[in-house]
Amino acid sequence: MKHTKKDVILEFKLPHFNRKDIDIDIDDDFITVRADKRDDKKVKKKEFFHEEISHHAFNYGTTVPKINSKKAKISFKNGILKITAPRI
């Protein structure tokens, strides 16, 4: 987490997730980031059956200085989630 005079900035490396896997709650003094992804792969062939299941989860919550949650900006690019919220 970084603080500037104007903003609070949080960055998370979430390489196993897509944006749709991520849930973000932003209040005026608390931010929660949750991510959950489950992949089920099944291969059926005449000779064999193979099943692979993977699960990735992430959960983070933190208090922040008073921010304007309605003006927070969220970006997700190349596995990096960035939240920028103006301080009050």
Helix, coil or strand: residue 67: strand
- Domains: count for the chain: 1
pTM: 0.82
User: Residue 41's pLDDT is what?
Assistant: 78
**Contacts within 8 Å (CB) and 24+ apart, 15-21:** 15/79, 16/56, 16/79, 17/56, 17/58, 17/79, 19/76
| CATH code of 7's domain | 2.60.40.790
Q: What is the pLDDT of residues 1-22, one digit of tens each?
A: 999 999 999 999 999 899 999 9
79 φψ region: left (φ > 0), alpha (ψ -120 to 50), beta (else): left
Check residue 51 and give its pLDDT: 80
pLDDT tens-digit profile of 57-81? Answer: 999 999 999 999 999 999 999 999 9
Domain that holds residue 24: 2-86
Q: Phi and psi of 15, rounded to 5°?
A: -70, -25
